[in-house]
Structure 1
Amino acid sequence: MLKGHTSEVFVCAWNPSSKNILGTGSKDTVVNIWRLHEPSFNDPAPTSDPPLTFTHRVDADQGDLTSLDWSPDGKLLAAGSYDTYLRICDSSGQLYFAESMQKGPVFATKFSPSGQYVLTASIDGSVCAWDVPKKTLYKQYRHHERCCLDIEWLSNDIFVSCGVDSKIHVVRLDTDSPIETLSGHSDEVNQIKCNSRRTLLASCSDDGTVRIWEVGDVKLGRASNNEAVTLAGHSSTVNSITWCPWDQTSDYDLLATSSLDGTSRLWNSSTGECLRVFSDHAASIYTIAFSPDSRLFATAGADGYLRVYDVKSREVKWSWRATTERTAIFEIDWQQSENLSRIALGLETGLVGVVDVSQIPALRTQ
């Protein structure tokens, strides 16, 4: 366990280029950047130097960190907050840029694939595109009638946004109006994610469904097929989705979903078939992640359990509980590099958990 926050840890993100650097953000307005030690035979438990701390001074009620995203080169970390600000710091915790153009909490931040731009999605319904090298606003987009909940990049100049109005807009950076609107959900769209090839977009909603949209043609300037594959089966809000890293041996992309109904599911995204329902949690599931090698996936949530499943056998392989009080696990992020495989956890207790998967016999490669 890593100690450095004084309240709930809501978000965590591994650096994409430096395997031992982890960013975490919490309700106490603090972003911590941890530099973990290389695991040793004598002391396999994950340890870290004292974190580099980046603190933004705001009213306590407005300080909650909502999102973290590293630039593709791992040099910058973007943080969204309830105080309406986008803040970007470098990997040493020094402020690079801070600005606010939105009139409500920032719910999502996302760097473009090239790292030139970062998007912020706000409760005021707008999306801002920020030019990172110039440290300035590039453009603000007001396409949603109400709160914008998530954003995703299709390419370096096309992004997608979703919101409370049930709409999904496809937007080119240099245009004022969406180039396409994807309609089908009947309630709030909570999250959107592209597969690794950025040809399919998954969306999940309060209406209890997930939809799969073909978006490959949009990147080429052609109209997409607006008819989605619908994944139905959850009995409550679907709040988290994640794609399995591309498996060249499969003829379809595998998608995992989790819900406030306490279940997670694996789906064939081409046919909409539910491959397995997992009902091991006793309360809502908040977060879900695949291992980068596609072998395992993990779920965590309100009951304080982290559960790890085998993708092929579709059976639970290992479980761990955070604590008996203030149990929730808000977010997990899975990192794999060379001989390292680690899961970071943001905990309600204010601690940051790091699970070294290679030290768990049940999870080792057979």
Structure 2
Amino acid sequence: MAPIQQIQITSDEINRLIYSYFRDSGFEHSAYTLVKEAQLERSAVFKIHVPRGELVELLSKALLYTEVECHFNGSETAVECKAKFSLLESHTCSPNPPESHSFIAPIFPPPVIMSAPPVQTNGVFQDSSSTKRKSSPPPRNVTPAEKRPRKEANDMDVDTPEPEPKPKAGPSNKSSKAKNSKKQRVQGPADDVTDPNAITLLSGHTTEVFVCAFNPVKYNLLASGSKDAVVKIWKLPDPTNPSAPAEDPVTIDYFSKEDARDLTCLSWNSAGTLLAIASYDCKLRICDIAGSMYYENDKHQGPIFTTRFSPSGRWLLTASLDGTSCLWDVAGKRLHRQYSAHEDCCLDVDWINDNMFASCGADRQVHIFSVDEDKAIKTFGGHTDEINQIKCNPSGTRLASCSDDMTTRIWNVSNISSSSEDLIPGLGSTSDKAILLEGHRHSVSTIGWYRLPGVENELIATGSFDGATRLWDSVTGRCLHAFSDHARPVYALDISPNNQWLTTGGGDGWLHIYDLRSYAKLWSWFAGAEKPGVFEIHWQTHNGNKVDRIGMALECRAAGVVDLRKVPAIANAVRL
């Protein structure tokens, strides 16, 4: 007979769960007080990753166990029982349950936010503030997998009720108003002229789709990855040949750990022959376009958040919760170097050129590395909270980093080389001062570089958990414009290859496309009221705009493709 396993629950573990619940709910002062009162920072459990909503999940399982325990005897009363179970009250079986006394959370109006000073653009003053407050999806067991352990971030808030639709012209009454107020928007474009066939939902995933990426060479291939760690490589019909038959996707499901399989990143090499897959199960996987395993390795001891091939495809970078970044020799199928510069988890990496890259982490540092050196050749500091994403400009001269401290910083990396004095680890100077972009009211989650014809300075777009997307002059730090169409956090943004349009996706289910020169919103699409999140987007242009489309990773368990040639607002727009 196997020995009975002992169950041990410590007060530190309980406090750690409560601390995460406070952070998830936005109760920052309560979380801080708990840490200090319980001396939680001194406990080994404090650094353990706790998934968002874990306390609620465990309490839900406790109620299920209580139900089994109460109804185990299978009596007639238990079989016909309709009484609800409560965490606070004992259960009495009854076919006619008493009226529920459950607490219903009140809905508060959005807080008043002080507006940022208006900025002047083309002689016209624009309001650069975001009028939308941060609002993430309501608590559920399913949350978007991000490139960092967002489970502890204070990205929870009370949802803002949608405004009632304006009544149509003509007589109205209370009953019609009530009917209109309950009507939910259905999935589809915001306009009435877009061809419904312009949007294709690729159904086949059984859980939320977190990531997607078009193949850079084989333009008809789109990879998508879902919460259950299934990767699908879809062969899309040729847009110039709409009668071409659809083909079944290649399915990749080499994953094993049931409780840690969320996919966080998909990355193609420049030749379009290999796909690198990052997952919460800590294992790196590289597959070919047929779905066959090219290489796998379990060197990392924590979830992998990012994978990035170098421009030439010779190297592959990975960033992990274990605090390290790994450099892999792709052709040699081996680990070249493992870097341990970050005190806490490494959240993102990006290439400056084929021999140099940057990494960022929860320790608020940006490190620059050479593929030939074991230590960082330059370190940038200044952020006051963890850094969510870094992205180098196309010329490899400037690096942008965005953070939970609500700012984005622009760093000069043009004077760093492996043959310079920067080989001294952590060397800094007065020239390291960053351009500071301030204006968001919550964590800045995503960034993108672009350049407009006739404009000297490079520009940058930032998306935030405050629901706003801002456009900036990366040299002066001036905010040029702020879009505030999202009612919930902005999860993703991408800029068209011709630098003319910006597309954003958010937790409110909306995909918006903007003109980067006129700041006009050109077109919008809604993912639906049920599981609405747009988690990732990727813009693809090929063969002189004969192929122009957007790929989407959607919470509604599908990958989406928008054929922009069938969207009049985009197809008929004046191209630069």
Equivalent position amino acid for 1:23 in 2: A
Equivalent position amino acid for 1:233 in 2: G
- Once the two structures are superposed, residues 111-135 of structure 1 have per-residue CA deviations (whole angstroms, 9 ceiling, x without a partner) of 0111111011000100011111111
C-alpha contact 1:34 1:48 (8 A) present in aligned 2: no
Distance 1:47 1:181 in 2: 52
Larger radius of gyration: 2
Mapping for residues 232-247 of structure 1, pairs under 5 Å? 232-244=438-450, 246-247=451-452
Equivalent position amino acid for 1:133 in 2: A
2:554 maps to: 347
- Once the two structures are superposed, residues 216-270 of structure 1 have per-residue CA deviations (whole angstroms, 9 ceiling, x without a partner) of 11147445831110000001000000111x4452211110000000000010001
Distance 2:468 2:397 in 1: 27
SS of structure 1 residue aligned to 2:415 = helix
Mapping for residues 1-366 of structure 1, pairs under 5 Å? 1-40=201-240, 48-219=246-417, 221-222=419-420, 223=422, 225-244=431-450, 246-247=451-452, 249-338=454-543, 339-364=546-571, 365-366=573-574
- Point out where structure 1 has 5 or more consecutive residues left out of the alignment: none
- Once the two structures are superposed, residues 280-327 of structure 1 have per-residue CA deviations (whole angstroms, 9 ceiling, x without a partner) of 011111000001111111001100000000011111111110111000
Distance 2:302 2:242 in 1: 49
**Does the C-alpha gap of structure 1 residues 188 and 101 become closer, same or farther in structure 2, counting only changes over 3 Å?**
same
SS of structure 2 residue aligned to 1:363 = helix
- Once the two structures are superposed, residues 168-190 of structure 1 have per-residue CA deviations (whole angstroms, 9 ceiling, x without a partner) of 00011221211000111111011
SS of structure 1 residue aligned to 2:565 = helix
Distance 1:247 1:313 in 2: 11
C-alpha contact 1:78 1:109 (8 A) present in aligned 2: yes
Using the TM superposition, give the Cα deviation of residue 62 of structure 1 relative to its aligned residue in structure 2, in angstroms. Answer: 1.0
Using the TM superposition, give the Cα deviation of residue 363 of structure 1 relative to its aligned residue in structure 2, in angstroms. Answer: 1.0
- Once the two structures are superposed, residues 78-98 of structure 1 have per-residue CA deviations (whole angstroms, 9 ceiling, x without a partner) of 000000011000111111001
C-alpha contact 2:275 2:286 (8 A) present in aligned 1: yes
C-alpha contact 2:452 2:500 (8 A) present in aligned 1: no
Using the TM superposition, give the Cα deviation of residue 140 of structure 1 relative to its aligned residue in structure 2, in angstroms. Answer: 0.6
Distance 1:219 1:106 in 2: 28
C-alpha contact 2:262 2:279 (8 A) present in aligned 1: yes
- Point out where structure 2 has 5 or more consecutive residues left out of the alignment: 1-200, 423-428
Using the TM superposition, give the Cα deviation of residue 349 of structure 1 relative to its aligned residue in structure 2, in angstroms. Answer: 1.2
- Once the two structures are superposed, residues 16-35 of structure 1 have per-residue CA deviations (whole angstroms, 9 ceiling, x without a partner) of 11111111111111111111
SS of structure 2 residue aligned to 1:38 = coil
Distance 2:348 2:461 in 1: 18
Distance 1:158 1:42 in 2: 43
Distance 1:358 1:269 in 2: 31
Distance 1:133 1:73 in 2: 13
**Does the C-alpha gap of structure 1 residues 265 and 23 become closer, same or farther in structure 2, counting only changes over 3 Å?**
same
Using the TM superposition, give the Cα deviation of residue 39 of structure 1 relative to its aligned residue in structure 2, in angstroms. Answer: 2.0
**Greater per-residue helix proportion:** 2
**Does the C-alpha gap of structure 1 residues 317 and 289 become closer, same or farther in structure 2, counting only changes over 3 Å?**
same
Using the TM superposition, give the Cα deviation of residue 334 of structure 1 relative to its aligned residue in structure 2, in angstroms. Answer: 0.4
C-alpha contact 2:370 2:418 (8 A) present in aligned 1: no
C-alpha contact 1:2 1:353 (8 A) present in aligned 2: yes
Using the TM superposition, give the Cα deviation of residue 48 of structure 1 relative to its aligned residue in structure 2, in angstroms. Answer: 4.1
Q: What is the total number of aligned residue pairs between the two structures? A: 363
Q: What TM-score comes out, normalization by structure 2 length?
A: 0.62
**Does the C-alpha gap of structure 1 residues 216 and 248 become closer, same or farther in structure 2, counting only changes over 3 Å?**
farther
2:61 maps to: none
Q: What TM-score comes out, normalization by structure 1 length?
A: 0.96
Distance 1:217 1:101 in 2: 33
The range that moved more, 56-65 or 121-130, is 56-65
Identity %: 46
C-alpha contact 1:168 1:182 (8 A) present in aligned 2: yes
Equivalent position amino acid for 1:325 in 2: E
**Does the C-alpha gap of structure 1 residues 48 and 226 become closer, same or farther in structure 2, counting only changes over 3 Å?**
farther
C-alpha contact 1:2 1:47 (8 A) present in aligned 2: no
**Does the C-alpha gap of structure 1 residues 174 and 42 become closer, same or farther in structure 2, counting only changes over 3 Å?**
closer
- Once the two structures are superposed, residues 315-345 of structure 1 have per-residue CA deviations (whole angstroms, 9 ceiling, x without a partner) of 1111110111000010000000021110000
Distance 1:57 1:336 in 2: 32
- Once the two structures are superposed, residues 154-179 of structure 1 have per-residue CA deviations (whole angstroms, 9 ceiling, x without a partner) of 11121100000000000112212110
**Does the C-alpha gap of structure 1 residues 357 and 337 become closer, same or farther in structure 2, counting only changes over 3 Å?**
same
**Greater per-residue strand proportion:** 1
2:87 maps to: none
Distance 1:19 1:316 in 2: 27
